[in-house]
Structure 1
């Protein structure tokens, strides 16, 4: 099943969804696939305003539009998909935010773009499935860098030894940027199982796949199998 945000579900005139292993592109968005912008995600902070279907966006990890009928998505496999909408559904945005994007300020870049013509207090956000603090172990050097560069409690950034809590970091940054509200949809991409099939994983995970390939080099990679999360202003 596709993950859904309670906040975004209350907004009129939009469709959204967070992909899973079974539905890499949420079924509610599949009919709009031909409108997708063309992009290359590079773990950066570039935000592109999309004004036409199939727009060439180059290297970018954030996308914003006020145009109905253009599907905005990001590919993820452990990084955070962040989906945003104006509370009246008249403008939308999506971000691909792994640890690099978070620490380098991609959320702040989107807030800066919104505040050029609007105010973040008119927007809500949802945090999709990503590597959870239960499984996302990193180097102590990276934890230290987060603690040094971000104005957030150490216990929020790293609730256990050498683990990062990407979702909590993103939620705190979204609140700091003045967005009206934020919720979470989905869970840990590394360890979450299908409720109906406990032996199977719910999400595609780059880290889990890499660990499998260390044990068994013949284990297939995930190229072309990243889930997509996105949003569209439905054309009238």
Structure 2
């Protein structure tokens, strides 16, 4: 069991929360404005998020584009294009939204810097994890990482061209793929560990959930398509 410092708080939201306002397949705690949900319902859910979990501030939301861009959450005053953020200030809430992609929580062992990344297959191979870790400006042995809920390998079929992209970047990605019934399946959790261990990070937890299979708990784009809501994954310092 890996423990984060006492002043570091992590949160992954459920798809259902008492008081949530979203309807239909977005039931009931969708937190994304960019899906087909009613905007007023989403804004009400974001207000509920703040109150229910007693957040120290509204999350520093980013506009995710499957990039490798990391931003300083303490320095942004409006929504910017990025897929990871970090903070060195108490009370700043870094956050990403997912519905199958892998949320990666990180902090140093002293509890003085936190960060989070949104890593789908594209962002992961393009370097979003590297971008976040480098932004934290800490030695690998001083970092702690938690892998939040994402789609599991046998629910995540990908094309052979994606495997080629991964192997052209790093041959160590070979074991992240399984070949069954003429199809490739990618293990995002394993791939993330390959990258993290490349930085000398050994304090890694999580990686045992499946957003696709656990429909009572999680939204899943692969399962529900454009009518899938999004969970929020947040990290901050108290």
TM-score by length of 2: 0.78
Distance (whole Å) between structure 1 residues aligned to residue 177 and residue 72 of structure 2: 33
1:45 to 68, 84, 89: 68
What is the aligned partner in structure 1 of residue 126 from structure 2? 104
Give deviations 1:166-193, integer Å, cap 9, x for gaps.
Answer: 1100011111112241111551111125
SS at match of 2:135: helix
Give deviations 1:37-57, integer Å, cap 9, x for gaps.
Answer: 1420111011101226x7324
Q: Pick closer, same or farther for the CA change 1:124–1:28 going to 2, 3 Å.
A: farther
Distance (whole Å) between structure 2 residues aligned to residue 147 and residue 29 of structure 1: 43
Q: Any conservation in 1 of the 2:73–2:86 contact (CA below 8 Å)?
A: yes
What is the aligned partner in structure 1 of residue 237 from structure 2? 233
Residue 73 (1) aligns with residue 77 (2): no
Structure 1 runs, 4 residues or longer, greater than 4 Å off: 23-29
1:145 to 152, 165, 171: 165
Unpaired stretches in structure 2, ≥5 consecutive residues: 18-28, 32-48
Aligned length: 206
Give deviations 1:14-39, integer Å, cap 9, x for gaps.
Answer: 11122222255779983227432142
Distance (whole Å) between structure 2 residues aligned to residue 147 and residue 83 of structure 1: 25
Distance (whole Å) between structure 2 residues aligned to residue 158 and residue 180 of structure 1: 22
Deviation of 1:143 (Å): 1.8
Residue 121 (1) aligns with residue 141 (2): yes
Deviation of 1:73 (Å): 1.1
Q: Any conservation in 1 of the 2:57–2:91 contact (CA below 8 Å)?
A: no
Distance (whole Å) between structure 2 residues aligned to residue 80 and residue 29 of structure 1: 24
Distance (whole Å) between structure 2 residues aligned to residue 227 and residue 109 of structure 1: 23
What is the aligned partner in structure 1 of residue 177 from structure 2? 158
Q: Pick closer, same or farther for the CA change 1:28–1:102 going to 2, 3 Å.
A: farther
Q: Any conservation in 1 of the 2:68–2:82 contact (CA below 8 Å)?
A: yes
Distance (whole Å) between structure 2 residues aligned to residue 181 and residue 28 of structure 1: 31
TM-score by length of 1: 0.79
